[in-house]
Amino acid sequence: MDNQPNETTILKQLAETTTGHRVKDTVALAPSGSHRRYYRLVMNDGSSLIGTFNDDVAENIAFFTYTRFFEDKGFPVPHLMAIHDDQKHYIQSDLGDTTLYDLLCKTRNGSELSPEVKSYYEQVVRILPKLQLSGRDHFDFSVAYPRHAFDRQSMQWDLNYFKYFFLKLANIPFNEQKLEDDYQALMDYLLSAPSDYFLYRDFQSRNIMVQDGKVFFIDYQGGRKGALQYDIASLLYDAKADLSEEFRMHLLNLYLDTLTQEIEVDREAFVSYFHGFVLIRILQAMGAYGYRGYFERKTHFLQSVPYAVRNLENLLNRMHLPMELPELTATLRRLIASDLVKPYQPSQSLTVVVQSFSFKKGLPEDPSGNGGGFVFDCRALPNPGREKEFAHNTGRDECVIQYLERYPEVADFKNHVNGLVDAAVTNYRERHFNHLMVSFGCTGGQHRSVYFAEQTARHLRERFPDIIVDLHHTVHPSK
């Protein structure tokens, strides 16, 4: 049973009761990496709000508690406007669509960041220490989700994530017992760092919104008690943000200057711990890339691997820890030297991501950060999903293909799509762009959208043999 009409109805009623204005339009936003679903609610007075549905009440309670605390302390976070009685639906202020990562990608000139982006990063690292230190001030960590603290168990999860979903799936050789010994030594050291602070957990450029010249922090519901170094490490070594080492050091020093205005800091000890937390953060991120890329076959996640490997190489050449990690270091050196990451090196060729999706599940995510491309709505075309004989088929099956292709409007739709996409591909190649997303949506994401994604991918491969076509289906993965 589809629950989308129910959740949007509840969110609309909640927004209208809270504001006294009617909801004029409801727009599903592109999904994030979580299971939360977001909607932009456009009100009849011209304002807009963000409605959210999340079935995980414990995670929601963490978000509600943290948001109220941060807002009370004057930190730049969304304004929590209303919460439904079920604690699964809630309304918050609309911070727009521009993340710091979006702005970085749009304004970057090669490796050089724009002055505007640099100023936003500086704004962020001046706020971060104060937000982290608020963890000492009657902060309610009892609601932390899923762990109370970034403790040994949390670290073990992250390190094993890297071992099982990256090293093993990428076939990087290692001695498991010796690697575990190094894991224990690294964790012992990191757990000796002062840790009575708020640890944001996923503090990176995609979780920082930019609006009206100011930065706002989002997606902190995974926060817990932990060390100061983890979040600044996450921000500075955010893989695809690809900050220069010089700018990283500038931001780290600015962070420390701000921190020392609040508490006494031993800079040398701080930087040593910082290197250790950079290491564990990179390994956690690579585990995520491996899980999404190697295991779930979402190969676009592997495009972040070369950036992470380069960060690892830079870190190993400058890292100073008070103990040896021989097996971990040797394994990482083997990873850096491996040919396995070469297919995912940033390419000068244009990559066209072609995908199908279900409008019931919301618009597809654009992991490139470009925010562009085409979204074609196939719901006005004849629907095989209404025929019982096609219930267990997809748009890849010959019976569905024959059904669709007997309708002239399907051929007309395909011709129009090919004309638009071909023009964009030609233009993007001439301008040396490297990413374009073409998405096809239908009601269930099973028949029409899959058919057009398959047909478009085949057409592009034949018409433009020099480009990379990355085809995947969000409801029915390719086999």
Comparing 131-145, 298-312, 434-448, the range with the smallest average pLDDT is: 298-312
pLDDT for 148? 92
> SS3 of 150, please?
coil
pLDDT for 105? 87
> How does residue 360 score in pLDDT terms, banded at 50, 70 and 90?
confident
Comparing 125-139, 348-362, 399-413, the range with the smallest average pLDDT is: 348-362
Nearest 10 degrees: Cα torsion 95, 130, 186, 247: 70
> How does residue 478 score in pLDDT terms, banded at 50, 70 and 90?
very low
Q: Which amino acid is at 418?
A: N
| pLDDT mean across residues, the chain | 90
Average of pLDDT values for 409-438? 90
pLDDT at 5 over 80: no
pLDDT at 479 over 60: no
Q: Which amino acid is at 446?
A: Q
pLDDT for 341? 62
Class of domain 100-344: alpha beta
pTM to 2 decimal places: 0.73
pLDDT for 346? 54
Q: Which amino acid is at 60?
A: N
pLDDT at 344 over 80: no
pLDDT for 453? 95
**Dihedral of alpha carbons 75, 76, 82, 86, sign:** negative
CA distances from 431 to 27, 85, 87, 101, 340 (A): 32, 52, 48, 22, 29
Average of pLDDT values for 188-208? 96
Average of pLDDT values for 305-319? 89
pLDDT for 356? 93
pLDDT for 243? 93
pLDDT for 3? 46
Tell me the pLDDT tens digit for each residue of 126-137.
999 999 999 887
Looking at the chain, the whole-number percentage of residues with pLDDT higher than 70 is 94
Nearest 10 degrees: Cα torsion 317, 125, 370, 12: 140
Q: How far apart are CA 194 and CA 266, in angstroms?
A: 12
pLDDT at 124 over 70: yes
pLDDT for 343? 58
pLDDT for 468? 83
The region that residue 471 occupies, defined by phi over 0 for left and psi between -120 and 50 for alpha, beta otherwise, is: beta
Q: What count of other Cβ atoms lies within 10 Å of the Cβ of residue 360?
A: 16
pLDDT at 396 over 50: yes
Name the maximum alpha-carbon separation found in the chain: 75
Q: Which CATH fold would you assign to the domain 4-93?
A: Phosphorylase Kinase; domain 1 (3.30.200)
pLDDT at 116 over 70: yes
Q: Which amino acid is at 399?
A: C
pLDDT for 371? 61
Q: How far apart are CA 95 and CA 98, in angstroms?
A: 8
The region that residue 453 occupies, defined by phi over 0 for left and psi between -120 and 50 for alpha, beta otherwise, is: alpha
Question: How do the domains of the chain map onto residue ranges?
Answer: 4-93, 100-344, 351-473
Secondary structure element (H or E) that encloses residue 39, with its range: strand 37-43
Per the CB < 8 A criterion, the answer to whether 311 and 242 are in contact is no
Would you state the structure tokens that stand for residue 54, as one six-digit string? 């999340």
Short-list 337, 324, 282, CA closest to 166 = 282
Q: How far apart are CA 447 and CA 421, in angstroms?
A: 21
Given the structure tokens 């709505």, which residue do they identify? Answer: 377
Would you state the structure tokens that stand for residue 255, as one six-digit string? 């962070």
pLDDT at 452 over 60: yes
Q: Which amino acid is at 88?
A: K
Is beta strand 224-226 parallel, antiparallel or unpaired with respect to 197-199?
antiparallel
Average of pLDDT values for 307-320? 89
Secondary structure element (H or E) that encloses residue 329, with its range: helix 326-337
Tell me the pLDDT tens digit for each residue of 218-273.
999 999 999 999 999 999 999 889 999 999 999 999 999 999 999 999 999 999 99
pLDDT for 345? 56
Short-list 224, 185, 181, CA closest to 201 = 224
More confident site: 279 or 365: 279
Would you state the structure tokens that stand for residue 336, as one six-digit string? 């850096």
pLDDT at 11 over 50: yes
pLDDT for 1? 41
Average of pLDDT values for 357-381? 82
